[in-house]
Amino acid sequence: MTPVPVRRLAILAAAALVTVMCAEAAILAQQAPMVKRTVLLQHDAPTPGYVEVMVRVDFPPGSREGRHTHPGLAIVHVEEGTMMLDYEGKMTTYKAGDSFAVEPGKVHEGINNSGAPVRAMAAFVVEKGKPMTTQEAAK
């Protein structure tokens, strides 16, 4: 049997390592806890062409929403737990009892870095027919 050159063996080992790392990253991404949004109420707003929407948002431990925007104002009240909000690159911590607003079109992301669940109530006033949320492309 002909011996395998050391350089070729090193290349094969590196390729195998990269393959294993990519597979592990894909498995971890699939296992990441997902934020759950439940629409509780949606109806036409008094202003023609707009709807009002109330949503319960549940953040399991270790979850994040992904950077996104809304076409209208979002008003959020944290009912349970502690979350981080990345708002246009500025990180702020909100705990149960805190409230905040997100202006239309502003890039933001809710993150639960804690070991406990987070529950928030969000109210939106958005133009009828527009998507409630638009995910931002990963940077």
Give per-residue pLDDT as tens, 101-138.
999 999 999 999 999 999 999 999 999 998 888 998 76
Alpha carbons 100 and 78: distance in angstroms, whole number: 9
pLDDT at position 90 over 80 = yes
Q: Answer yes or no: do 24 and 46 share one domain.
A: no
Domain count, the chain: 2
Q: Answer yes or no: do 53 and 17 share one domain.
A: no
10-52, pLDDT tens digit by residue?
565 544 444 544 445 444 445 678 999 999 999 999 999 999 9
Q: Please tell me the predicted confidence (pLDDT) of residue 137.
A: 77
Q: Please tell me the predicted confidence (pLDDT) of residue 7.
A: 66
Q: Which domain holds residue 4?
A: 1-31
Q: Answer yes or no: do 50 and 112 share one domain.
A: yes
Q: Answer yes or no: do 26 and 40 share one domain.
A: no
Residue 122, C-beta contacts closer than 8 angstroms, at least 6 positions apart: 54, 55, 56, 57, 74, 75, 76, 77
